[in-house]
A and B are shown apart, each in its own frame.
Chain A
Amino acid sequence: MALSDARDYVLAVESNQHEAAEIARSTAQKLESRQVTLIEVVQSLGEYINNGDDKIRARAVSYLVSVISSLPPKYLSRQQIQVLCHFLCDRIEDGGAIDGLSKLQSLDRFTNEMAQTVVRAIFEHFADLQTRNQAGRYRVLQMLNELLDRHRKALRDMGDESLVGITELVSGEKDPRNLMLIFSMLRVLMVEWDITMHVEMMFDAVYAYFPITFRPPPNDPYGITAQDLKDRLRDCLAATPLFAPHTFPNMLDRLDSTSNTVKKDVLQTLAACADNYDPATISQYSITLWDAVKFEVLQAQESELAEEALRVLRSIAECLSTHAYSSANSALLQYLKPINKECLEHLQEPAARQAKASGNILTAVSSASIQAFEIIMKAIGPALITMYQSGQGLVQQRAVLEVSNQLFEASIDVYGSWTALSPKNPQGRENLMGEFKDQVVAIYSQALMGTVKEEVSFRLTAANGLLLLSKIRGMLSENEIGLFVQYFDDIVLKEESYGRDELKKRAMAALAGISHFKPGLISDITFPAFMARLPDAEEAQPEIYQPVLEGLAEISVEKDLQATLMRRLLNKVEFLFKSSQGTSFPYTCSILGTILYVLNRAAAASQSPLDAYYDRVVIGLSRRATETRGGPLTNETVLDILGRIMNLIVRHSPVDKVQMAAENIYLLFRNNQLVGDLPTLSTLLEPPTLTILSTWLLAALPRSIHSVDLDKAQIPRTIDELILFASKTSSLAITQSCLSQISLYTNKHTKPADLSYVDNLLSQRLLGLRDEPMGDTESIDFGIRLAFALTKALILRLSPKTNQYLTSLVDLLDENQHPREVSRKAAMGFATILSPDDVLSKKNAAEIRLLAPQRVFQILTPLISERFKASQSPSEKENYLIALSGILASVPSDIVMPELPTLLPLLLQSLDITDQTVKVATLETLAVVISNNPSALEESGHIPALVKRLIKVATVPKYKSPKDASGAGIVPPTNLPTARRLAARCLALLPKYVGSAGSRANPLLGLKREVLHGLTYVLDDHKRDVRKEAVDARAAWLRGVDDIDDDDDV
């Protein structure tokens, strides 16, 4: 019966893989249950195994292999494995045999001897490996790799036989997939075999591939990049120091290559060698390497190569630092001597290019280790000081300071900073720079504080240096750093503003930096100095308090300091709240803004609760606002920021306090006796500006919470009251606040089953908008706002009727059914639907479904496009475009792209209407389209139309009568500078993305002349920003759109 299985398999395997596998599995089961023996199975193959036809033989072997693979791992005995192994080795060239051996070698009972047998079989049968196809070679290599993995000792015991055998077997390989395997196998041989007799052969085996010039085909399914190959090849070359006599001369030869890629490969290989070879080897080549590699830094053509070269130099220093350091004539010293000498020479002209490069070299090398740093510092440090003191001018002196700053950074690297010990300094060795510190501090202090304020870059360098010095672990005393803090304070607070205030910014950043490692100094010196600068009255100038507030916020990162800051700022705010005069309160707002910023940062950084401020801010200030009838606490802007602060605190408070807030949305923590039993909303919201606070409190509540106001019977009543309340007010802020609350109730606190109330309200309102206005435009305005507020809340939670809601909004644009004003206003409203909203946001636990923007866009785009085409009236068409641009402005571009074919004609039409907001939104969308999806643009065939319109938008039409320049005459409609600038930008983007790829003719070619001519007028725009874009656009078209592109077909 085993015989018939073998026959069935051989017949089935070609036509039905699945059935064949099933047959093999059943044979395996029979073996397991001892119905047949392995011998019988093997014998059953007899008829096929000696067949003259390769294919038949292969099928027979594959039957055996399938059977073996289906057996449980412990089934085969050692003898059986032995027999099978020999059997398969004899037929190793037959298809499937390799797979069988691969299976066998993974079994525990596979012995070292068998491994050697297999390897020998491979050597014997595959001497002509390179004549086989890639897949075949890959299988053999994979098998070898598995053996090398599981039976490495067995292979190693074969010594030269396996070493030479494998190396010869793989030579001549060209396929990247195979090479990946080969490189990793050869590396194992190099590292673990004794290769002393075969160094050159091994080196040649891998060096033959240097440099890798492989370029993966487009859409390569194997995903092997040139970099992958380079990485493995580099590991091979750096595998053993025995290669050094071959690697270094060859690499240095290749360094003369004209190709930057090759040079980069060389430098990376050298760095890898320095990382892996032993110090004794590296010390023989260190100076040769320095002499060759230095040119890549000193005469750098390519900054990337310079970086790589610096890495080589540092790696060499790191390698030599592991050598015994004690001897005065150490290898490290030998290496660094010529470096010091040459760099010192270049530094004599400190502002020159090679001096800068020398600074980079010294920094790279000295950050290798403490030993390296000390050797360099001893040689260079005193020289730098002398050079500075004899400096010929600020430019030179600044350059000297720059180099010193770099060395300070290296010093932090090797000795560690206050906050972090360096792994290069485990014993906490004292910093050598201590010797120079007094001189250095004096020089830098003088440079920062004793130089006129016009020398910005000089002082900036000095400020950088002082910050670096203060960071170095254990170098300066508290007093000395305190002195620097004082300098920085003076710069921020006392110096006049100059230029772009770079120095003030840097000083502030330095203070913030110091606050991380010396918070005590900041709280003792800077904090009081800054606080004292805060004015007491609202009338202060923003120039005075703004930087102080920002500074305070920036330095108060540490916890205690932050608590003190909050206390002081709240005191200040409460004091300012007392005043009852004035109409705008910028100073109060700024302080509140600072509080918000600091609390936000605290909440984000530590996740710690903010309820420490609950009583004072949420309860105290709410109550206070209910008692106030004038001054800052009735100002809408002030209340908005205060509301945000309360919102933040409530969101980061424990449950009981959140519950308390839920009960006080409208009560606002008033004392109960002052409020009647059943107060109406309008009595509670007195003064009406309190609505703003209520909104932010309501927004902070999680969806799950319960309270009287959030009861499902109460919500419709509250919404009605809010609508009534809002219709009575004349303040836009209060109207918007009421609408926000309605949105919040609808989105967060209404169950799907209770939505019918909202549906009714919405359809009733929409119906009301159909009537002709009766002299009451305000009610129209409110009606539309309400409709959009409700729809937005419903759509974001993707309520089941989303489609219907959106359609009714688009219906509003139909001028046949609605008054014109309604349609126009509604068109503008579309911008609100998806625009980010601080109140109805994820942070505030609003229900915003991930797919909402996509759904909205996919429903609206075809709808608007269809209505646009059907519409006859120009003003109605414009409405559709306005609505579309409102949506486009806040939809991520990856959602827009699939709809491009529908959208493009509309976008082009949008460029023709006068509404500037639409135009700007359209141009922004087009810029994204051009850069993200140029092929869709090309396929649409709209490029010529687009280009013509862009030129038109970018160009300012000429006056017909220049004498009428006084302005009273008719000025033709001009696009805003932003629109002109964006149009020119789009023109500049086109050549970058369109026509560069693909086989078709570049669609821009025919337009080149027209664009270049059109742009000459834009070059003379009144606005600099527009001209700038026009210059870029012309350059892009001049050089990016080439006639000779056709010859480029390589």
Chain B
Amino acid sequence: MEDGKNANPLILNPSDLPTRRRRASARQDHSALDVSLAYPAPSFSNDPFARSSSPSSIEESDSDAEDEPIDTQEIYDLIATMSDPEHPITLGSLAVVSLPDIAITPTIPSRPASNLQTVTVLITPTIQHCSLATVIGLGVRVRLEESLPPRFRVDVRIKEGTHSTADEVNKQLADKERVAAALWNPTLQSFIKKMLETCE
């Protein structure tokens, strides 16, 4: 362990990770089994002659009426499938990122009309002196910056009390210029590329 690697981390089961619950408004799906017993739609219901220019069947389940704002679960889904640089295991399974440690807040609270928002992600390294905490932080930062619209500010930090040199790492992660400089480093680039390969 002296090299700052954790060879035997705790792993969460995929079915225990937070996921988006089935929407209540989703079509009536009471199926308890994977087999579909639903009786076939009547043969006469398929009528291409009767459709309007935007088909009603698509319209009902798929309209813009319901707004789906970006929420913490969505942020989680973006980063939880990234893999740890030293294990072929996702950050979600390793609990490096977790849903309660993600927050979305208005960037300028005094101006409610502004749509600028800040995403804060707290990272929990698998061990106190994890040598790769900075790399993981950078990876998460890169993933979020390329995946979120420009009105979002990204703030990635080490969770308090989980890392021996948290302050130093945080300083590096918060420093735009140091982040940009680090991303020019080819070794880091390949590390981050590898982390992002498993993104779903």
Give A residues with C-beta under 8 Å from B: 299-303, 346, 349, 351-354, 356, 395, 398, 456-457, 460, 492, 499-502, 504-505, 508-509, 512, 542-543, 546-547, 549-551, 553-554, 589-590, 592-594, 596-597, 636-637, 640-641, 644, 692, 695, 732-733, 736-737, 740, 781, 784-785, 825, 828-829, 831-832, 835, 837-839, 886, 914-917, 920, 974, 976-978, 1016-1017, 1019-1020, 1022-1024, 1027, 1031, 1034-1035, 1038-1039
Contact = CB atoms under 8 A, between A and B. Distances in A.
A885 B119 CA distance: 43
B68 A1022 contact: yes
Nearest to B17: A457
B171 interface: no
Given A549-B37, A838-B40, A1035 B51 contact: no
Contacts of B147: 1019, 1031, 1034-1035
B32 A492 contact: yes
Contacts of A644: 40
Interface of A is mostly: helix
Given A917-B53, A1034-B146, A504 B39 contact: no
25 contacts: A299-B7, A351-B11, A353-B11, A508-B32, A550-B33, A593-B38, A593-B39, A781-B49, A828-B48, A828-B49, A838-B40, A914-B53, A916-B53, A916-B55, A917-B54, A917-B55, A917-B58, A976-B59, A976-B63, A977-B64, A1016-B149, A1019-B149, A1020-B149, A1022-B68, A1024-B74
Contacts of B8: 346, 349, 352-354
Contact of A543 (B30, B146, B150): B30
A309 to B, nearest CB: 15
A1027 B70 contact: yes
B22 interface: yes
Given A546-B30, A1024-B74, A1031-B78, A736 B37 contact: no
A302 to B, nearest CB: 7
Contacts of B54: 915-917, 976
A298 to B, nearest CB: 8
Contacts of A1017: 149
A998 to B, nearest CB: 23
B44 A737 contact: yes
Contacts of A1019: 147-149
A742 to B, nearest CB: 14
Contacts of A460: 15
A502 B148 contact: no
B28 interface: yes
Contact of B32 (A505, A837, A1038): A505
Contacts of B10: 349, 351-353, 395
A398 B13 contact: yes
Most buried by B among A695, A920, A977: A977
Given A554-B35, A1031-B147, A832 B48 contact: yes
B196 A733 contact: no
Contacts of B68: 1022-1024
Contacts of A302: 88
B168 interface: no
B89 A353 contact: yes
B67 interface: yes
A1023 B64 contact: yes
Contacts of A732: 44, 47, 50
A1039 B196 contact: yes
Given A395-B10, A1016-B150, A1020-B149, 14 more contacts: A301-B87, A346-B8, A504-B32, A547-B31, A550-B31, A550-B37, A839-B43, A976-B63, A977-B63, A1019-B148, A1019-B149, A1027-B74, A1035-B146, A1035-B147
Given A736-B43, A1039-B196, A915 B53 contact: yes
A829 B49 contact: yes
Nearest to A541: B30
